[in-house]
Amino acid sequence: MKFQILQDLLAEPELANVFNHLYLRALLKESTDRAIAQARHPFVEAYLGRLGVPDGLPREDALAFALQAAEERQRLLQVGGEVALKMRLAELRAEARSAVQPPAPLLSAPVPGYVPLAVADAVGRFLVDKEGLSHSASRNYKTRLTNMGQYLQGVGVASDVSVITREHLLAYRTELARSCSASTVHVYMTQLSTFLKWVAETQRSHLPAGWVSPAVRLQETSGYQQRPGKIDARADEEGGRFSDDDLRQLVSQCSRAVRGELRLGGSSRNGDTSKSKAWVLLLMAHGGFRPTEAAQLHTAQVDFDEEASCYFVDYSSLVDGQRLKNKHSRRVVPLLFPEDLAELFGQYLQERKGKEGGFLFPWKVTVNGRLDEPVRNALADVMPLAGVSLEGGQTPYSFRHTLLDRCKQLGLEERYTKALAGHAELDITAGRYGKRAELGRLVEAMRTVGVADFSINSQ
């Protein structure tokens, strides 16, 4: 159990990078009793904190609690499941808290400080971080965020990004509406939301404790209706998730298409085939890719892992003609196809290696990157065959929302969900090196909770 605790510590990507890997390996080779008794490093403390160990508990009792929690975890997961485990851990935390002496009252509680970050500086950092943006997208962000900064300067909050409130943003929206169309205002608000979400996730040292992005419910709810039978590209990142039944029907029809049992019709001006349309949707359903990520895949980025027994996409490096949303999108994603589909995917992969420069799908490459229009066309083609409507605002992006929501609802650990999604909390170095081992852990965790088994309900 003590060895398992150290293994669990090393499995935390945010923690494992704090220390030299050679030292960590040496730590494991030592007597486990001595290693844990003497280890006073921050990653050990963070692990105890993640278990809910009270700060005031003596170290020997804290380590004993960690060992007991590990033993309870193994036993209860085997006999009682996740719910029983959570209940038992809550009891253990209560017992540990009862052993802690209440601290002496402070005459004056210290107020944690932070270093204010000017809006202009935050915008500059944001643009540097978004290295994957095209030139036009970067220019648009710079223009719109600069305009916001000028407006905020006029109301006296430009010197500290953490002072921005929802009321400031709504007032800015009203100001924009006086001279801009509704669609332009919509784009402005979307990009402001993206920027402030990035601030909340990456600039914690410049924010007060508990600060959250004020960019909530900024869009007008009236004035926009999706045309029947059409999938609007502007709505991609706002679409809802598919229901479990709709997801099963979509995956079922795509599976029939790759087996040759039906043909997905529609335009073929981009050289797309029925199987290409079906495979791009299956990739998104199983891998949680953004539409543009799936559309521009290259066969050199797809391989089979014998140990994990699955195909995977390695987006840690790009080929000519590709672009990603940001550096955190460079990740490794397993494709947990059923066995029969995995075999067919291997055949399709081999067929594509010698065509169109080796790209996985036969769609044109443009100056601004591979387009995701064929993905929307593919969904529009399979939707009526599956009996699925888009009344809930679903788009190709909804495959990503749905898979990540399944991860959450079925209890996949947050660190694995972040690794799958390519979110900003993961360090890019952890994403590039030693990833095969992490791929195995991710695959095992996803199979354990049934993320890729679409016969399991997640709602």
- Average pLDDT by consecutive 10-residue portion of the chain (459 residues)? 50 44 43 45 54 60 63 63 65 62 51 77 87 81 89 84 88 85 86 90 85 81 40 48 91 94 68 85 93 89 92 88 77 93 94 87 61 81 87 82 88 86 53 54 90 84
Q: Cβ distance 379 to 281 under 8 Å?
A: yes
* Residue 300 DSSP one-character state: G
Q: What is the CATH number of domain 233-449?
A: 1.10.443.10
**Dist. CA 402–CA 203, nearest whole Å:** 28
Q: Cβ distance 382 to 257 under 8 Å?
A: yes
Report phi then psi at 407, rounded to 5. Answer: -55, -45
Report how far apart, in Å, the C-alpha atoms of 184 and of each of 58, 191, 230 are. Answer: 58, 11, 21
| Tokens describing residue 193 | 């939301």
Nearest to 250 by CA among 397, 405, 385, 398: 385
pLDDT at 271: 53
Question: Rounded to 5 degrees, what angle do the CA atoms 243, 249, 254 make?
Answer: 125
pLDDT at 175: 85
- For 391, other C-beta atoms within 10 Å of its C-beta total 9
Report how far apart, in Å, the C-alpha atoms of 199 and of each of 122, 124, 133, 161 are. Answer: 7, 11, 17, 9
Alpha-carbon dihedral angle through residues 405, 459, 286, 325, given to the nearest 10 degrees:
-20
**Dist. CA 135–CA 34, nearest whole Å:** 55
* Residue 221 DSSP one-character state: S
pLDDT at 348: 94
| Tokens describing residue 240 | 């809802």
pLDDT at 253: 94
pLDDT at 177: 83
Report how far apart, in Å, the C-alpha atoms of 303 and of each of 46, 175, 282 are. Answer: 35, 51, 16
Residue type, 102: P
The SS3 assignment for 365 reads strand
pLDDT at 438: 76
Break the chain into its structural domains and give their ranges. 2-98, 119-206, 233-449
What's the pTM value of the predicted model, to 2 decimals?
Answer: 0.51
* Residue 265 DSSP one-character state: -
Q: Cβ distance 315 to 301 under 8 Å?
A: yes
